[in-house]
Chains A and B, each alone.
With several copies, the nearest count.
Chain A
Amino acid sequence: MLATWDRSIRPAGEARLVIGVLGALAVLGGTAAVARAGEQAAAAAPAVPVPARVDSGDTAWVLVSAALVMLMTPGLAFFYGGLVRRKNMLSVLMQCLMLLCLISLQWVVLGYSLSFAPGTGLIGGLKWLFLSGVGLEPNADYAATIPHQVFMMFQMMFAVITPALIIGAFAERMKFSSLCVFMLLWATFVYDPVAHWVWGVGGFLRQWGALDFAGGTVVHINAGMTALAAALVLGRRQGYPEGISPPHNLPFAVLGAALLWFGWFGFNAGSALGAGGLAGSAFTVTHIAAAAAGLTWALLDWLKHKKPTTLGMITGAVGGLVSITPASGYVTPAGAICIGIGAGLIPWVAVTYIKAALGYDDALDAFGVHGVGGIWGAIATGLFATKSVNPAGADGLFYGNPVLLWIQIKTVLITVVFSFVVGLVLLKLVQACMGLRVSEHEERVGLDLALHREAAYTVID
């Protein structure tokens, strides 16, 4: 069903792109209205009847995968937390935990419906608000062999970790209350629509035939671009770049990276929504790409700085995981190695040269790794995808089909623009209403004490 791209573009590609972006922006003004309309539209188009029966093996795997993806948010918290200064450790953990709570509830209340309920090409309907109608029977539109609620929970974990990724950009200086408000808005006006475009039945990018197996566009480009916007809007930390101490606890960052890697098996292989060959293939290429990217970054450090660094290796591995995400259901192990090498190289260049040259303070490289890595992954999917791995996918450029690459590029552009622009608008809005940045004094003291009245570690006890 994802293979309908071949007749959809070429003629009116550009026009559609413009329409798409404009349309998407319109969402901001009238989500609910659009959504209601969508609901009616969907009602008209009956779903293809597929005999849906719960398979215990598939369900077991997706349940596990959902748990694994849930673990990625604390994993990310430690990955990020280990990199900040001691005085801000808890603030990072707290932000991630808060998103785990807050966005989970947003998802139950309206996020899932906006993303996946039958709707228009731009946004899901409101039929599944408060999970009404999301039961224990499979929904064959998304996964014919697992309970609908399990699919919903699996997707929830994606909705949670995506905003958490953005935290890396404004770490050590963002107001906590503003973060909560901003993230609620962002989940509703950025994440949910983009998830619908790419994965929702009727989503326009899905219609085009854009391939995004496990969220390169929806999760990584999306988060990465808003991260860039956030780094620009919030400005640099005091003393950046010289006056910022090195990571206060690299072992915690390694722990976080390990949990991310572990969880990513659920993220990517779980996206097969069943335990069979496709899951196995996604599992394989996920691991290989991470390994290749970790090695690549370490070697680049070795070349440039004479020594391979631990932080470099884990950053590379995470970059590899990011980049393989959209491709993970469509490429061979050889493709995965190529994608992994690119995922070590391109974000490395972004973080080493581009960030330094442009001077924005993307504190923990949320844009540099997730944005840049996500873009590479989406484009690489257009290069390396092959139907030999997944007949429901498409062939990429290296398998003789240039069209997919073009679709992927358009998808990237649309998402890049949409996430950046809407992210920026939302940030400005929150800034105007309640401010985004803590006071200079609070930043000096550290967010742990200033915003949470706690210290991560005791000095004397």
Chain B
Amino acid sequence: MKYVIGIIQPDRLDEVLKRLTEEEINLVTVSNVLGRGRQKGVAQVYRSHKEQGSLLKKIKLEIAVNEAFVERTVKAITDGAHTGQIGDGKIFVLDLPECVRIRTGERGNEAIG
């Protein structure tokens, strides 16, 4: 199993979720993060004090999937989040040795979906 982490632009979330649904990847965990990447932040101004604002709002997705779904997941995220502009984000794929569904106590591949 793999643990897929995606960092995307906030306004691409809806699109990514739609693509994931189309691929029947319904289970996903989402959170707010700030990212520093190649994208230059816009300088914020407070009473003429400029704040470089290098940390930009991003959305983080976490999706645990079986091996068979990894590429589909990556593709769904990429398709939904891609705009071709700097700041589009990254996907990280980690190994996931174990997974437990709290409700049933199931483990492994059965638990993940």
Contacts and interface: CB of A to CB of B under 8 A. Distances in A.
Question: Would A and B touch once assembled, by the CB under 8 A criterion?
Answer: yes
Given A444-B11, A459-B32, A459-B57, A247 B46 contact: yes
B10 A460 contact: yes
Interface string A441-461: 000110001100111000110
Interface string A106-141: 000000000000000000000000000000000000
B47 A460 contact: no
Q: How big is chain B's contact interface, by range?
A: 20 to 34
Of A241, A356, A460, chain B has the most CB atoms within 10 Å of the CB of: A460
A449 B56 CA distance: 11
Interface residues of A, number: 29
Contacts of B31: 460
Contact of B44 (A246, A351, A444): A246
Given A460-B13, A460-B32, A246 B47 contact: no
A67 B73 CA distance: 58
A304 interface: yes
B59 interface: yes
A239 interface: yes
Contacts of A454: 44-46
Contacts of A315: 47
A16 interface: no
B45 A460 contact: no
Nearest to A247: B46
B67 to A, nearest CB: 29
Contacts of B104: none
Given A444-B11, A460-B30, A460-B32, A246 B59 contact: no
Contact of B45 (A307, A444, A459): A307
A348 to B, nearest CB: 8
Contacts of B51: 245-246
B42 A460 contact: no
A242 B59 CA distance: 19
Nearest to B31: A460
Interface string B6-37: 00011101100000000000000011101000
Given A239-B14, A459-B57, A309 B45 contact: yes
Contacts of A351: 47-48
A450 B31 CA distance: 23
A305 B49 contact: no
Interface string A306-344: 010101100100000000000000000000000000000
Contacts of A356: 48-49
B18 to A, nearest CB: 10
Interface of B: 9-11, 13-14, 30-32, 34, 42-51, 53, 55, 57, 59
Given A460-B30, A460-B32, A460-B34, 7 more contacts: A301-B48, A311-B47, A352-B48, A356-B49, A445-B11, A449-B44, A459-B34
15 contacts: A241-B49, A243-B14, A309-B45, A311-B47, A312-B47, A351-B48, A445-B11, A445-B42, A450-B42, A453-B45, A454-B45, A459-B57, A460-B30, A460-B32, A460-B34
